[in-house]
Amino acid sequence: MRKVKVAATQMSCSSNIEENISRAESLVRKAAAEGAQIILLQELFETPYFCQKEKADYYVYATELEHNKAVNHFKQIARELEVVLPISFYEKKNYARYNSLAVIDANGEVLGQYRKSHIPDGPGYEEKFYFNPGDTGFKVWKTRYAKIGIGVCWDQWYPEAARCMALMGAELLFYPTAIGSEPQDGSIDSKDHWQMCMLGHAASNLMPVIASNRIGPEDDGDSTINFYGSSFIAGPQGNKLAEAGRTEEAVLTAEFDLDQLEIQRIEWGIFRDRRPDLYKIITSYDGERMI
């Protein structure tokens, strides 16, 4: 048996970067004390979710990977606690800007980075103003405890992303996110839809999914998003094993036997019976012309 314990966390964020990092550290330490070996923090937790409005002033939040405060801080925490930490951050690379994630292994080493592939653009979620489309492609990381695939927020709505990471050998899928109310229409509540998409990734790939969201209201001028938390851990049949509430800070944990999960995936034949020769249309935008 090759068992691993994972954790999902959620918290509110202020405009104080040091305070946010400190709060995130406390959640990581709590999860590690509960035995978690891979611990997920939410998307862009260093700062408020600054993408509500298009403001050039927020470009200053971007840093190079090697100079990012959260990444450097959690390298030490990962080494001390011997945990794996995917860390979301706003990356600057020359004149490009990315919504990126650094994967820190249990020895404190940064294994590399992933740049968010799917960039949303809508009221309250104006990410195309701040981020270039990610150019890394999907990635799977061989950490001390498991092979993990990681998508960032809007990536989680795409079954293609989850399947690609599964085909690359992922054993667990992680999704740090920032999602809540729609500033232009307070009657919209996407929480169930948001969860259902990722539960589908778990079920269709027979693979656990771990999702971390932020909580609380965040205001920017006349725009407000109330982030609805509801972070969760799903089992390989798309069943929710643990779920946080909408408003409280939380740490969720679950344990998986990776060897048993691999046997399950083989027995079900989901990957054996694939027909990639019939899937070429997926590379088109309009259902006809293939890239």
Active-site residue list: 43, 116, 153
CB 155 within 8 A of CB 118: yes
Q: Which of 156, 154, 213 is nearest to 12 (CA)?
A: 213
CA angle, residues 45, 250, 215, in degrees to nearest 5: 50
Instruction: Let me know how long the chain is.
Output: 291
Q: What is the spatial distance between Cα 178 and Cα 11, in angstroms, rounded to a whole number?
A: 11
* Token pair listed for 201: 């990734």
Q: Which of 204, 161, 218 is nearest to 44 (CA)?
A: 218
Name the CA radius of gyration of the chain, rounded: 18
CB 110 within 8 A of CB 71: yes
Q: What is the spatial distance between Cα 75 and Cα 80, in angstroms, rounded to a whole number?
A: 9
CB 178 within 8 A of CB 12: no
